[in-house]
Amino acid sequence: MLRLSTNAERVLASRYLRRDREGRIVESPDQLFERVSRSIADAELLTGNGRQAEVWLEEFHSLLTSFDFLPNSPTLMNAGTPLGQLSACFVLPIEDTMEGIFEALKQMALVQRTGGGTGFSFSRLRPKGDIVASTGGQASGPVSFMNIFDCATENIKQGGKRRGANMGILRVDHPDILEFISAKREGTALENFNISVGATDVFMEAVLTDSSYNLIHPRTGLSIRRHAAKKVFDAIAESAWLTGDPGMIFLDTINSANPTPHLGAIDATNPCGEIPLLPYESCNLGSINLAHMLADNNGKATVDWCKLATTVQKAVRFLDNVITVNKFSLPEIEHMTHGNRKIGLGVMGFADMLIQVGCSYDSDEAVGLAEQLMRFISERALQASRELARERGLFPNWKGSVYQTKQIEVRNATRTAVAPTGTISIIAATSASIEPLFALAYRRSHVLRDETLYEVNPILVKHLERHGMDVEKALERIEEEGHIRNVEDLPEEIRRLFVTALDIAPERHLQIQAAFQRHVDNSVSKTINLPATATPGEIARAYRLAWEWRLKGVTIYRYGSKSKQVLELGVDEEAFYYDHSSSCDPRECKI
């Protein structure tokens, strides 16, 4: 029998459990995991035999019901159903013609109605005011068409369960870059878009030298004028300070790790940025619960490397099977996805793991453990993919890829990514992704349509009890504020371990992200949290460090800079209105 938290039960009932025509729930959580496990194990029938399918059905069912691993939401929602679309992440191309733009709009609708999130580069569209030869009129520019995509998304629910999510990217050398940077400043436009500037090394180097750079006409490839790089960079930082957008992705860093450069350059990502994809590629994600990868060593929790290795091997097979049984919205997506067989295995529960092993998130030890963990996961995922290649064959586009050059035979062009795990971490009752604790008591909004989830960190309660504290008295103060800074007489161990996002310097956030990124094939979705008092200059510094440390992308969120937020510190109304703020990026609710 499954053991679920109250919030997990509410999330499953609201989003995941199947319903009949009258909207009545017709399956239990146990039946959901049976449905998903059986559907994914059916892939074994195509590559093995009936006996093997039954073996892996049991393995996958145990993997899911233990909450050691969970796949992305579309797999939980749609596996074993007639819809059958199981991937979370898509990138669609937009060509600079009216036909191309509205074809992309149609394709977006087809993907989003099945539960997928879509990413776009609008960089090929001609700039605002450009003459349209066929009509003699003037082009309205990328931002105007983004508003059309946004309006369409507003009226589409992903898989009938959640509203659509988009990523909009514009190259920093596009002539309309300043309009793009400020597109969300008023707080009312592009509400269904996360936006990121596609920065180049040339641009970032010009920022450092306070020089100018070329703006390139996307149709001709010629420079039409020059901009002061620092002026543009400061505009990015100021808009991010005001609204949390835009983020930045670093195109040259992304393409230096492109496993299939012979198929083209990557210029867009999924909505949360952890999956850079070629046009028409999709990727399915899954996350290992690090809080469950522990063993008791004479009363002290330590990493259970054997369990972690076994879990990685099973999870890679699970995600490869997802590709095999998936039903795709478009033939172009099916062709590209089967050609590269990209998967994105990541983690959740990192903050909870750190607490249990006695390591503060805000420490050099945490950075070292982050790197050690992700290196291990990456190595084992590569090993599992090589074993699958021997059993099932190489990914079809292997010839011409970087793996052919290195003579490495693999089943999957990418294997790892770190996603936000917004709702699956609630189901698993663990901390989200690789984020620190956002608060010790908080209210989570915009996860369920009209409901707010109230949570107090259960590990904190255990630590308070262990130290003989008056739990009810301590929790009263924590529930008001969400943190322990002002709670009297707390042992130093508790203050050290239960550090929250806004207590951590942005450099430490970036160090953790960089430690994971060094061993991730795709990218890392991580929010760099800053207090409300942070300046645009501090945001600019964080963006510079992210580029210098070879991150593929970065999201900065200043406390309180959004009117609609996913998480609020504290659980009472007075604290909410006094401290109206969030310690995560609102884009995290999109997964």
Distance in angstroms (rounded) separating the CA atoms of residues 445 and 589: 9
pLDDT at 561: 85
Note whether 528 and 554 are within 8 A (CB).
yes
Strands (E), 317-370: 343-348
Question: What's the pLDDT tens digit per position in 230-288?
Answer: 999 999 999 999 999 999 999 999 999 999 999 999 999 999 999 999 999 999 999 99
Note whether 218 and 126 are within 8 A (CB).
yes
Task: Judge whether residue 563 has pLDDT over 50.
Answer: yes
Residue among 536, 543, 586, 582 nearest 559 (CA): 582
Task: Judge whether residue 425 has pLDDT over 80.
Answer: yes
Distance in angstroms (rounded) separating the CA atoms of residues 499 and 517: 23
Q: How does residue 328 score in pLDDT terms, banded at 50, 70 and 90?
A: very high
Segment 440-466 shows an average pLDDT of 70
| Known active-site residue 274 | yes
Segment 485-508 shows an average pLDDT of 86
Segment 314-318 shows an average pLDDT of 98
Can you state the percent helix, strand and coil of the chain, rounding each to 5?
45, 20, 40
Least confident of 223-227, 367-371, 580-584: 580-584
> Which of left, alpha, beta for 421 (phi over 0: left; psi -120 to 50: alpha)?
left
Question: What's the pLDDT tens digit per position in 288-310?
Answer: 999 999 999 998 999 999 999 99
3-state secondary structure of 58: helix
Pair type for strands 300-303 and 343-348 = unpaired
State the catalytic residue, choosing from 44, 238, 274, 281: 274
Least confident of 77-91, 151-165, 476-490: 476-490
Q: How does residue 186 score in pLDDT terms, banded at 50, 70 and 90?
A: confident
| Known active-site residue 522 | no
Bigger pLDDT: 156 or 87?
87
Strands (E), 87-222: 89-91, 117-121, 157-158, 162-163, 166-171, 193-199, 212-216
Q: How does residue 161 score in pLDDT terms, banded at 50, 70 and 90?
A: low
Bridge partners, residue 188, by sequence = none
Distance in angstroms (rounded) separating the CA atoms of residues 386 and 436: 33
Segment 558-572 shows an average pLDDT of 61
Segment 376-392 shows an average pLDDT of 98
Distance in angstroms (rounded) separating the CA atoms of residues 17 and 80: 12
Note whether 164 and 157 are within 8 A (CB).
yes
Instruction: Name the DSSP class of 485.
Output: T
Task: Judge whether residue 576 has pLDDT over 70.
Answer: no
Note whether 176 and 127 are within 8 A (CB).
yes
Pair type for strands 527-530 and 451-456 = unpaired
State the catalytic residue, choosing from 192, 194, 272, 584: 272
| Known active-site residue 457 | no
Distance in angstroms (rounded) separating the CA atoms of residues 429 and 358: 19
By residue count, the chain amounts to 591
Task: Judge whether residue 109 has pLDDT over 80.
Answer: yes
Complete DSSP assignment for 423-441: THHHHTTS--TTPPBS-SE
Average pLDDT, the chain: 90
Bigger pLDDT: 449 or 190?
190
Least confident of 81-90, 517-526, 528-537, 556-565: 556-565
Task: Judge whether residue 20 has pLDDT over 60.
Answer: yes
Instruction: Name the DSSP class of 19.
Output: B
Task: Judge whether residue 29 has pLDDT over 70.
Answer: yes
State the catalytic residue, choosing from 78, 166, 258, 270: 270
Cis status, amide bond into 246, omega within 30 of 0: yes
Strands (E), 252-332: 268-269, 276-277, 282-289, 294-297, 300-303
Segment 567-580 shows an average pLDDT of 34
